[in-house]
Structure 1
């Protein structure tokens, strides 16, 4: 596996990856599928993106996942908001951790003081992943409605840099 900065040319494959996660449901707060252009602007190379890395299968060239760090209006400028997405069609052991190593290093280079992650309370895998990386619970926003009316808490976790 190779971890490298994202390119706009990765957007189509990453939109497919993210849309599969959205279609499966139950783990991401995102509910509307993305076009390649919309994903690129929102999470890959757009104006609110601090950095974004992709994990690439070194044998096949397939993109295994991506991790984006962006600006969130609710956070101070020295805290980045992180999101991690990996393929749903198989076990992606080590992808998230490899992406996090790159994101964390870049965030430190840029002088950020902390990373923030907002995870659905029913996303056990996501909560476990961020806890294993060293994130600690910071806040809970209760009863956030999904597009179908289901109400789910959001756990805000923080990683001090």
Structure 2
């Protein structure tokens, strides 16, 4: 698989909304529970005022013609976090995890976060999302807190694990 990593653009919103909505519909790996319109996704994760950066992984077929979205990673401002700490979200196409999409996206995201002077990146992951927890640990994130029993829409309590990636030199 040949991946192209590039900054997200507003015209990516329909395809990325489809990708994210499939993840939400499957359930179990994201705290997000309501589907996104392309406009809402663009504002929240691609180009809105709280977005620091967002990168898209485009899977290029062997013949080099066209391509499809393999995933995206967004870094934004989140209430309760200091201005120099970004909050990350990583989304890979259903059935497309474990193929290096997240790691390729994270290389671009971490570089841009450093360029913009951020000191750290926060990731909040559902405690039952073992794949997500393992991914962020592989990227170098370390656990720093747990919010216990955060209810889903149906009332099911699920812990949220907060992980942090330090961007400061030598850290």
Alignment of 1:128-139 (within 5 A): 128-139=134-145
Shift of 1:91: 4.3
In structure 2, the residue matched to 1:4 is 6
**Correspondence for 2:124 among 118, 123, 126:** 118
Q: Work out the CA distance in 1 between the residues paired with 2:80 and 2:134.
A: 24
Q: Partners in 1 of 2:86 and 2:124 — Cα distance? A: 11
For structure 1, list consecutive stretches of 5 or more residues without a partner in the other structure: none
Deviations 1:45-98 (A, max 9, x none): 100000000000122410100000000111000000000000003445010000
Matching residue of 2:32: 30
Q: Is the 8 A contact 1:86 1:92 kept in 2?
A: no
Residues 24 and 33 in structure 2, CA contact (< 8 A), matched pair in contact too: yes
Distance in 2 (alpha carbons) for counterparts of 1:42 and 1:26: 21
- Of the three residues 78, 83, 91, the one matched with 1:77 is 83
Deviating above 4 A after TM superposition, structure 1's stretches of 4 or more consecutive aligned residues are none
User: What is the distance in 2 between the residues matched to 1:101 and 1:72?
Assistant: 21
CA distance in 2, matches of 1:61, 1:109: 29
Q: 1:160 aligns with which of 152, 158, 166?
A: 166
Structure 1 length-normalised TM: 0.98
Partner residue of 2:72?
66
**Which whole-Å CA distance do the structure 1 matches of 2:58 and 2:158 have between them?**
32
Deviates more, 1:80-89 or 1:58-67: 58-67
The CA distance in 2 between the partners of 1:24 and 1:68, in whole Å, is 20
Distance 1:57 1:97 in 2: 14
Q: Please say which structure displays the higher CA radius of gyration.
A: 2
Q: What's 2:58 paired with?
A: 56
